Structure 1
Amino acid sequence: RLISAFKDKFVKNPRFEPWYKHDIAPAIIRKYRKNHHDDSESVGLQFEDFVRYLGDKQFGDHIIHWLTYAELCAPCDISYNVVGHHETLERDAPYILKAAGIADLVSYPNIPPGITHYNRTKVERYFTGISQRDVRRLYARYQGDFSLFDYQRPAFLLD
């Protein structure tokens, strides 16, 4: 989810508000990049900078795209009938539409191959070079989401 948010907002999608690339990214670089120089902003935000930002409770909480699901969806306040997973979205969507009584009115679009599948190699590539301290801080922030959705602790990153 965080790799996707990083790529979507800072790397590959120019249609999003320039606010991410021109305001948020330079602010993150100035605060979290070691040996920051003004010209280093032109290099662009690196995933390592983004991880540091997210791990800092003071700064990482105000943008909806990387709030924890516990903060975003209020699972303790709302009695959900269904909890879906992104990885099983193609299987979950028809059930949800049918349960809502709208399967005849709405259909879930086909998802391009590879979009919903977890790719450990990609995760390892993105986290290469990120300090154990920063990875642990990031996990501590999102640990509730791991529990909420019954995801395994990513030992290959944390140990």
Structure 2
Amino acid sequence: MEIFKKCLHIKNFIKTYSLLFLVYLVCLVSFNSDLSVDPENIEKYRAELTEYVRNNIHTIRDQQNDRKLHIKKVCEDYVIDKSKKELKQISQSLDLTPNELAKLKTPNFPYIYHAKEQNFVWCGVPKAGSSTWTYNLLKLAGTETNNSTKIHKILRDYYPKPKNKSVFRGTFKFMVVRHPFERILSAYRDKLEDYSRDKEYRDGYYYEHFGKYIAKKYRDPTDEIEKKEPSWREFIAYVIDTPISKFDKHWIPIWTLCSPCNIKYNVIAKMESFAVDTQFILEEGGLDDELQVEWKHHTGTGQSGDLQREYYGQLSQAEMKKVYNKYKLDFELYGYDPQIYYDLAFDA
């Protein structure tokens, strides 16, 4: 009888251990780079996240190599070793000017930040983890603030704009990208949807420079709309009609900011796999002793299906395809699929 009890105890222990191990595996799988991670989960599973990245470092490197090879191929298709005549034809097919297309391979120093002591370069893309990495750079510089508006204003005080391409030699380089349709929705909600928010944090800058114009030009005078802010559909009409060179940095295509055909990035992180990719940056860049994975200013990030449906369900298939054309190079360069958003739109 005593032996039976011991065996039963061992059996129960094994079952309990197996269950705990299964839960642990589920936690690790939740950090798979193809899945999104909510901000609160970063805090809760930081130790597991670090272990996951270190245990899967070779797999993540392979994924990064695939991203970089894909970008190289797209660059070859559009700008690398192309004649002036070819570039003119390509720019016309994309509804771009040759000067706009040239941004694919021209360093855009206003968005480049060089941390000399840590020997890395970050290209900051607004609405793609920029608040998090601005906070990180200020932390490395020995100053911290939780004021999300102030941090962007003071960053250049510590990291002056580079003067030439020498900053790219021998440095660890990374950037963060995001699904174009998610990014422009986040930009609209953060900057244009709520005037009181704009007034409080930015003295009404976005309403004065964009919102007022958009509402005036695209609002049907017969519509009984009391709000002064532009609606989502009015913003989309503006995006479709406006040359990208006149876009604000928060919704201009990413490829215009970070010169993907000129700068050879070590890591192309994605907001959709932000936790894993950020931890990978810390590991590969030798920053894991100075920084940890955090997520600042995540308003509109990891948007729910209901939220996507609420906004993109207002647009027609034809409108969606026109918006896609504005961001076509972002979709192609960074491997994003527009179809899930097309499925939300209505047939005109």
TM-score range, shorter chain: 0.7 to 0.9
- TM-score for both structures, normalised by structure 1: 0.83
Match status 1:74 vs 2:259: yes
In structure 1, the partner of 2:343 is: 156
TM-aligned CA deviation for residue 41 of structure 1 = 7.3
Q: Is the 8 A contact 2:187 2:250 kept in 1?
A: yes
Number of residue-to-residue matches in the alignment: 158
TM-aligned CA deviation for residue 143 of structure 1 = 1.8
Match status 1:52 vs 2:237: yes
Distance in 2 separating the partners of 1:83 and 1:34: 42
The more displaced of 137-146 and 15-24 is 15-24
- TM-score for both structures, normalised by structure 2: 0.41
TM-aligned CA deviation for residue 55 of structure 1 = 1.3
| Alignment CA distance shift 1:41-1:140 (3 Å) | farther
Distance in 2 separating the partners of 1:60 and 1:35: 28
In structure 1, the partner of 2:193 is: 11
- One-letter identity of the residue aligned with 2:286: G
In structure 2, the partner of 1:140 is: 325
Match status 1:89 vs 2:271: no
Q: 1:30 aligns with which of 216, 221, 227?
A: 216
In structure 1, the partner of 2:306 is: 121
Deviations 1:24-54 (A, max 9, x none): 10101112222378x9574421010111111
Deviations 1:32-82 (A, max 9, x none): 222378x95744210101111111233773311111111111111111111
Deviations 1:95-129 (A, max 9, x none): 10121111111222256999643533322210233
- One-letter identity of the residue aligned with 2:186: S
Q: Is the 8 A contact 1:146 1:152 kept in 2?
A: yes
| Alignment CA distance shift 1:64-1:36 (3 Å) | farther
Q: Is the 8 A contact 1:5 1:65 kept in 2?
A: yes
Distance in 1 separating the partners of 2:318 and 2:344: 11
TM-aligned CA deviation for residue 147 of structure 1 = 1.6
In structure 2, the partner of 1:21 is: 207
Q: Is the 8 A contact 1:26 1:41 kept in 2?
A: no
List runs of 5+ in structure 1 lacking aligned partners: none
List runs of 5+ in structure 2 lacking aligned partners: 1-182
Answer 1 or 2: which has greater strand percent: 2
Q: Tell me the C-alpha RMSD between the 2 structures.
A: 2.8
- One-letter identity of the residue aligned with 1:98: E
SS for the counterpart of 1:79 is coil
| Alignment CA distance shift 1:17-1:138 (3 Å) | farther
Structure of higher RCO (CA pairs closer than 8 Å, 6+ residues apart): 2
Distance in 2 separating the partners of 1:60 and 1:123: 27
Q: Is the 8 A contact 2:187 2:251 kept in 1?
A: yes
User: Between the two proteins, what is the percent identity of the paired residues?
Assistant: 27
